[in-house]
Amino acid sequence: MSRIIRVAAAQMGPTQKAEPRARTLERLLALLEQAAGQGARLVVFPELALTTFFPRWLLDEAALAPYFEKAMPNPAVQPLFDRARALGVGFYLGYAEQTPAGQRFNSALLVAPDGSILGKYRKVHLPGSVEPRPGARFQQLEKRYFAYGDLGFPAFRAGPAWAGAILGMMICNDRRWPESWRMLGLQGVELVCLGYNSAAYDPNGGSSEDAALRSFHSKLVAQANAYMNASWAVAVAKAGEEDGSGLIGASCIVDPNGLIVAEAATLADEVLVADCDLDLCRQGKDKMFNFAAHRRPDQYGAITARAGVVEPVAAR
Amino acid sequence: MSRIIRVAAAQMGPTQKAEPRARTLERLLALLEQAAGQGARLVVFPELALTTFFPRWLLDEAALAPYFEKAMPNPAVQPLFDRARALGVGFYLGYAEQTPAGQRFNSALLVAPDGSILGKYRKVHLPGSVEPRPGARFQQLEKRYFAYGDLGFPAFRAGPAWAGAILGMMICNDRRWPESWRMLGLQGVELVCLGYNSAAYDPNGGSSEDAALRSFHSKLVAQANAYMNASWAVAVAKAGEEDGSGLIGASCIVDPNGLIVAEAATLADEVLVADCDLDLCRQGKDKMFNFAAHRRPDQYGAITARAGVVEPVAAR
């Protein structure tokens, strides 16, 4: 049997700070229409899809506040929700969330084809620093602007429009941490949606990482972790030169063998489509990666017992 | 500064059941000499390097017993230990261990260039089954013949002959489980030695995995997990047609970016050499994968709380 869901990766080119929100929404709608026109039922947009990647700057409160969504949906994005529902297409959308209590998260929503919100995720692995790095042209201040995600890594079982898929979400840096994938794998995830904004240079300073290497890293972690959890993965960039700072592309759709079945060719708005047969996950989930049969959690204590490294003592 | 250790991956071609132990030792010695001649100070041999991969057969006790080493070293392998010490070369060697109390493990030793035993590891992730699969031409009976490793995933700090490296070991299937790598990463591992015997077909039955796909998987997991733990990895096969059953090759040396710097070209006895600069680990360990700064163990509870999958409840 096959349980096929046609998925689109809706890569975005850069969103300049000066771009009006209405223009960004037009782009999202155009990507949605293009994906729906190709028969996709799930469209994955990037992290922070509504704005420029503002954590690259040290901003005061007045400059920062407009980047956050106080409710989702809200009038500015309602047309995307309405059009998706009319088309019978659901989507993953990354955005900056501000709660009524004033807490701020780097978040993503999963909206079902009927318009209902199937799930929400708040980024756990915030990269960067709280304090700006002196002398750096661009900062990475996610630890300053966002609270750590407090929803765990929930997986969601979709309805028949999405073939009953078990879906999970990640955001950007989460994908480099195998723990994120394993938390979803332990819920039987069949398709991971993940959006990102990843610098085309080393965001922590240094000159040893360029766009080619960072694109390789981005694909490598999606491929290996998809394989090791026997899941599909849809990894979607905001790409290109954004406000003078480069972002990698390399959006891709990965199968449960870790093979890339579709990959972006540009750093611009671009739609990739693939038919993801969820039953292809069974080969891994039932055999090599039958977790109940083969995992040895009694040997993994340090993974949850501590965050950091404890080196072995010096040699005798 | 650079802390360079020249490492050799000593891939072995098949070791037929009929091959005398003395002949296998000659091959190990030849590989050791070749690696030493190229300046290597650490030589990584495969899993179960002294025998055919006997878990492919259902064996009675009389047939099984000869595959196990009752002590290590022992007279049959002492020449390898002696020659390595004389050359000032250390090594990783996989073998079937039987303890004085009669317990059996799939084990590996790390022997320092001065001949001392730096560390020992017993395979945690035993694949296969306890009972034979009816009708299968070849079995995978590691769960029948071996006890689960009971030494955890220890890392060892070497002396100056190995540039003070922090070394870790895995065996075969361990490499497909990110937990193995993370347990070593949490000890600051800089170089992971891992030997394997991996079937060139699906060892759990089925026809969807061939040698090319399984070689891709083998490299993919070494590359991604080396990157995600900012470590070198030396992955070494026993390869080729062994007693009628195919084993993949694809031995490789991987840098902390996940890039392959040397890769086997054959399915036979073959030595790969690379200079591994341990300080290349710092880029990852100090920035992107600074565990103390970025890991969130409070969000990883299920990883150690249970072995198997718990799926989300059905959609509303």
Q: Domain coordinates of chain A in residue numbers?
A: 4-290
In this structure, what is the dihedral angle of CA atoms A212, A215, B181, B47, given to the nearest 10 degrees? -60
As a whole number of angstroms, the distance between CA A164 and CA A191 comes to 11
pLDDT of B315 reads 58
Chain B residue numbers with beta carbons less than 8 Å from the beta carbon of A206 are 283, 287
**3 state DSSP class of A18:** coil
Q: What is the pLDDT of residue A1?
A: 60
- B183 vs A300: CB contact, 8 Å cut-off? yes
pLDDT digits (tens, 9 = 90+) for A147-176: 999 999 999 999 999 999 999 999 999 999
pLDDT band for position A315 (cuts 50, 70, 90): low
Q: Per the CB < 8 Å rule, is B303 touching A306? A: no
Q: What are phi and psi of A123, to 5 degrees?
A: -55, 125
In the chain, the amino acid numbered B14 is: P
Residue A316 pLDDT greater than 60, yes or no: no
Q: Average of pLDDT values for A35-53?
A: 98
Taking residues B23-32, what's their average pLDDT?
98
Q: How far is A183 from chain B (nearest CA, A)?
A: 7
Average pLDDT for residues A308-314, to the nearest whole number? Answer: 92
Distance from CA of A51 to the nearest CA of B (A): 24
Q: Strands across the sheet with B252-254, in order?
A: B155-157, B166-171, B191-196, B232-237, B252-254, B260-263
Q: Do A307 and B295 touch (CB under 8 A)?
A: yes
User: What is the per-residue pLDDT for A2?
Assistant: 83
Residues 185 to 204 of B: which have CB under 8 A from any A CB? 185-188, 202, 204
This model's pTM is above 0.95: yes
Cβ of A130: how many Cβ atoms within 10 Å? 10
How do residues B63-75 score in pLDDT, each as one tens digit? 999 999 999 999 9
d(CA A178, nearest CA chain B) in Å: 7
Which residues of A are part of the catalytic machinery? 47, 123, 172
Tens of pLDDT, residues A209-254: 999 999 999 999 999 999 999 999 999 999 999 999 999 999 999 9
| Cβ-based contacts of B156 with chain A (< 8 Å) | 312, 315
Beta bridge partners of A199: A247
Listed in sequence order, the residues at least 6 apart from B250 whose beta carbon sits closer than 8 Å to its beta carbon are B215, B218, B219, B235, B237, B239, B263, B264
Separation in Å, CA of A312 to nearest CA in chain B:
6
Is A312–B187 a contact, with Cβ atoms under 8 angstroms apart?
yes
pLDDT tens column, A100-141: 999 999 999 999 999 999 999 999 999 999 999 999 999 999
Distance of residue A307 Cα from the nearest chain B Cα, in angstroms: 5
- Interface membership of A115 toward B (CB under 8 Å): no
Interface probe for B, chosen from A105, A162, A215, A217 (most Cβ of B below 10 Å), is A217
A302 touches chain B (CB under 8 A): yes
Contact B305 A297 (CB under 8 A): yes
**How far is C-alpha B280 from the geometric centre of its chain's CA atoms?**
22
DSSP string of A248-261, one letter each residue: ----EEE-TTS-EE
A 6-65 residues with CB < 8 A to B: none
Tell me whether residues B227 and A206 touch, CB distance under 8 A: no
Average pLDDT estimate for B186-197 = 98
Interface test with B, best of A179, A215, A229 (most B CBs within 10 A): A179
The percentage of residues in chain A with a pLDDT greater than 70, rounded to a whole number, is: 99
Q: What's the mean pLDDT in B198-212? A: 91
Question: What distance in Å separates the CA atoms of residue B242 and residue B204, rounded to the nearest whole number?
Answer: 18
CB–CB contact A303 B307 (8 Å): no
Instruction: For residue A313, name the pLDDT band (cuts at 50, 70, 90).
Output: confident
pLDDT at B219: 98
Residue B205 has pLDDT above 90, yes or no: no
Q: Any idea which residues of B carry the catalytic annotation?
A: 47, 123, 172
Residue pLDDT, tens place only, B238-256: 999 999 999 999 999 999 9
Residue contacts between A and B (CB atoms, under 8 Å): 225
Helix (H, G, I), strand (E, B) or coil at A46: coil
3-state secondary structure of A4: strand
Contacts of B224 in chain A (CB under 8 A): 220-221, 223-225
**For residue A204, what pLDDT is reported?**
84
* Mean of pLDDT over chain B: 97
Q: What is the mean pLDDT of chain A?
A: 97
CATH number of B4-290: 3.60.110.10
Q: What pLDDT score does B98 carry?
A: 98
Mutate which: B304, B310, B313, B316, vs A, most A CBs within 10 A = B304
Q: What is the pLDDT of residues B96-120, one digit of tens each?
A: 999 999 999 999 999 999 999 999 9
Cβ of B210 under 8 Å from any chain A Cβ?
Answer: no
- The predicted structure's pLDDT at residue B1: 60
Using CB atoms, which residue from A183, A283, A311 is nearest to B188? Answer: A311
Rounded Cα distance, A49 and A26, in Å: 12
Does any CB of chain A come closer than 8 Å to the CB of residue B212?
no
**Could you tell me if A178 lies within 8 Å of chain B, comparing CB atoms?**
yes
Q: What is the mean pLDDT of residues A13-33?
A: 98
CA torsion A85-A91-A93-A97 (nearest 10°) is: 60
